[in-house]
Structure 1
Amino acid sequence: MRKGEETRAKILDVAEAAVLAKGFGATSIEELIVETGITKSGFFYHFHDKTELAKALLERYIENDERIYDEIFSRARELMEDPLQSFMLGLKLLSEQLADLPNGHPGCIVAVMCIHERAFDREIQELNRQAALMWRRRFRGMFEEIMQIYEPREPLDVDQLADMVSTVLEGGIVMSKALREPKGLSEQLLVLRTFIRLLFRPR
């Protein structure tokens, strides 16, 4: 990684930690400059303003989430051909990975920007929306494959079921922080796994 890329990544690392800790509005450019040890002109070389910083944070967070999902669910599919068993294994692997975080999940940039969306322009709001739709398509595809072999025990909307995966992930982050239980998110994923197993029966 070149020096310029390293500096940009360092700014994003510091900014992400600050935003997750206290929100985007309470995070100042000045504190990022001090924390990263760069000059003001150095900061503005990488980001013209806070809006551009917010966009870069969001894009990086989404890209990282996608990479994790790709790795985990691809690995699960390699190990299990059955789509339902593969999906449940994927949830188990994801739960184990999150359980390894000593202080729990640090938080979600997507959620922060949703909660305070009025502070951001339409481009960032749309980027957030597209991320949610991307995750819906990912999990809907998995459930549609499951439903070719297994029948839901109750009528359901596949998009709503797909959104439920993201809802448990985001809600699990909030609950684990509120309850100060670092393992809460990983345990919520295991409950979701049990629910999915009980929801479907072979045709």
Structure 2
Amino acid sequence: MPRDGSATRERILETAERLVIDNGFAATSVDRVIAESHSSKGSFFHHFASKNDLARALVERYAAADVAHLHAALEHARAATDDPAKRVVAFLSYFENDADAIMSAQSSCLYVSILTERDLVLDGTSGQIEEAVVAWRDGFAELLRAALPGRTPAGVDIDVDALSDHVFVTFEGAFLLCRSTGDSGHMHRQLTVLRHLMEALLGAVAATPPRRRRAGTPSRH
């Protein structure tokens, strides 16, 4: 068992992430994080100089897991098929098949909770979120640029970056639908619709059959 305090720090971060996603950053007090993580004020301030310092650590941790999930999906798509269009579909299917697991792990997205706090935007905390968004855009755009030539209607000029951003937009919109209606099934349905739209655009079919979520697969979007 680690004796350097890393387990305590991780426990505080896990608790704070859940509370911030469920209640918002402003409504999550340091005292509540300490109480629900079964730590102490001394332990908290040993690891985090302030509540805003905690926010920066939360975003760094969440964004790292988010980008790791992206890379896992890209690797899955490339391993599934050599057909560029089917790789796009395989990428989307990866998340579609994990939709229930994603929603069981979190009720919303940490990014939204952080971006509503003006102080955190001004102090640069939001910069890590922008980097993650760009990573998603670039990752999916690479698949699209390989798949689109010769598959789109003549005369149609597709903004690949904007289309790539639609993956991220679908996730965030689905989180909003799930939370506002109390129906977590919206995540799966919206990802299915996105896959169908991409299949229609590319004339592609699913590269792989639905799969079960593997143990250890990151559950964040």
TM-score of the alignment, normalized to the shorter chain, above 0.5? yes
How far apart, CA to CA, are the structure 2 residues paired with 1:74 and 1:176?
28
TM superposition shift of 1:131: 2.0
State the AA in 2 paired with 1:26.
Answer: A
How far apart, CA to CA, are the structure 2 residues paired with 1:16 and 1:104?
11
2:135 is aligned to 134
Structure with bigger helix share is: 1
Q: Deviations over 1:23-67 (max 9, x none)?
A: 001111111111122221110111111111111111111111111
Q: Deviations over 1:149-193 (max 9, x none)?
A: 533564321111011110001101111121211121121011001
Identical-residue share of aligned pairs (%)? 28
1:111 is aligned to 112
Is residue 77–residue 86 contact of structure 1 (8 Å, CA) maintained in 2?
yes
The 5 A counterparts of 1:59-74 are: 59-74=60-75
Which 5+ residue runs of structure 2 have no aligned equivalent?
205-221
Tell me the secondary structure at the aligned position of residue 182 of structure 2: coil
TM superposition shift of 1:117: 3.6
2:174 is aligned to 172
Tell me the secondary structure at the aligned position of residue 100 of structure 1: helix
How far apart, CA to CA, are the structure 2 residues paired with 1:112 and 1:182?
19
TM superposition shift of 1:200: 2.5
How far apart, CA to CA, are the structure 2 residues paired with 1:35 and 1:122?
27
1:160 is aligned to 162
Tell me the secondary structure at the aligned position of residue 152 of structure 2: strand
How far apart, CA to CA, are the structure 1 residues paired with 2:103 and 2:30?
29
Tell me the secondary structure at the aligned position of residue 124 of structure 1: coil
Structure 1 residues 7 and 152: alpha-carbon distance in aligned structure 2, compared to 1, 3 A threshold: farther
Which 5+ residue runs of structure 1 have no aligned equivalent?
none
Is residue 18–residue 106 contact of structure 2 (8 Å, CA) maintained in 1?
no
Q: Does 2:183 correspond to 1:181?
A: yes
State the AA in 2 paired with 1:41.
Answer: G
2:51 is aligned to 50
How far apart, CA to CA, are the structure 1 residues paired with 2:10 and 2:202?
43
Is residue 73–residue 87 contact of structure 1 (8 Å, CA) maintained in 2?
no
TM-score where L is the length of structure 1:
0.90
